[in-house]
Amino acid sequence: MKIWQADFYRSSQQDESGKVLWELLICDKNRSFEYTATCPQSEANSSWVTTQIQQATGEKFPDVIQVFRPQSLSLIETAGRNLGILVEPTRRTFALKQWLEERNSAFSLEKPAPLPLPENLWGEQWRLATLAAGDLETEFSDRPIPILSMPEFLKPINLGLASTIPVPGVVIYGGRQSMRLVRWLVAAHPVALNYIAGAPDGLILEAGLVDRWVLATFEDAEVTAAAKVYEQRKQQSRGLHFLLVQPDDSGMTYSGFWLLQTESD
């Protein structure tokens, strides 16, 4: 599958007359292919982006173009529709972000304040858990789980983790809301689940491109201590952690499982 990563943004460059320029960057995940183009702000539209993708393509269009910046998503999506290319919103554009860093092009995105999880989704209880890296895949890959999100690049072996490294996670017992919560999570596109100290403390779900949700709040000292250990273990596991949703604690039925990774940028 041919996958590109693309960004289209207002750059710090100006043309000879002092007008602001917009810049389009396109690369593949190995950066063996890179393409750049600029245009004045008056031409920064989906038609221009469509033309540039055509010029960059060569013999074969990409199957997917990945985009991380919300402000450029709609223009690139429109260009993708014009050309029959699927556009995927994702934060996981590692090659493109590395390229932007090398060019000293800012890409930190403004994130909204976290919103509370809708009340009709919340389950009965939750807990922090840990699994050895070597057990993660074998524990869940062969089970009949309705939603199983275990991307190849997040599997412990592909992150170079020793099989004995403890990988932290969060388990939610959803009860009757279990599948409703899982369907919501599928639509939200979970990225990471982080402990945030505050008054009260909380577990914040990073999702989509910039979305943030309060998955749980707590003031109990023991839970806070466990949450701090959870964050320490994430540092040992290269940010890898998991989210598991199941109806109850019987261990017989699972509703959804996600491998997640805390963002490095």
CA 30 remoteness from chain centre: 19
Give tens-digit pLDDT for 203-220.
Answer: 999 999 999 999 999 999
What is the rounded average pLDDT of the residues 107-128?
A: 85
Q: What is the pTM of this model?
A: 0.88
What is the rounded end-to-end Cα distance, in angstroms, of the chain? 27
Q: What residues does 192 pair with on adjacent strands? A: 206
Q: Which among 234, 198, 231 has a CA at the least distance from the CA of 216? A: 198
* Distance from C-alpha of 141 to C-alpha of 143, rounded to nearest angstrom: 6
**Contact (CB, 8 A) for 138 and 257:** no
Cβ within 8 Å of residue 35, ≥6 positions away: 24, 25, 26, 27, 52, 56
Q: Categorize the per-residue pLDDT at 106 as very low, low, confident or very high, splitting at 50, 70 and 90.
A: low
Q: What is the dihedral of CA 264, 259, 177, 227, to 10 degrees?
A: -60
pLDDT for residue 17: 76
Q: Percentage of the chain with pLDDT > 70? A: 99
pLDDT: is 60 or 237 the higher one?
Answer: 237
Structure tokens at 111: 């994130």
Please report, as a single letter, which amino acid is at residue 181: L
Q: Is 135 helix (H, G, I), strand (E, B) or coil?
A: helix
Segment 56-91, tens digit of pLDDT: 997 789 999 999 999 999 999 999 999 999 999 999
Does the pLDDT value for residue 169 go beyond 90?
A: yes
pLDDT at residue 21 in the model: 93
What domains are defined for the chain?
3-102 (3.30.420.10), 115-261 (no CATH)
pLDDT in tens, 12-70: 877 777 788 999 999 999 999 999 999 999 999 999 999 999 999 977 899 999 999 99
- Looking at the chain, the whole-number percentage of residues with pLDDT higher than 90 is 77
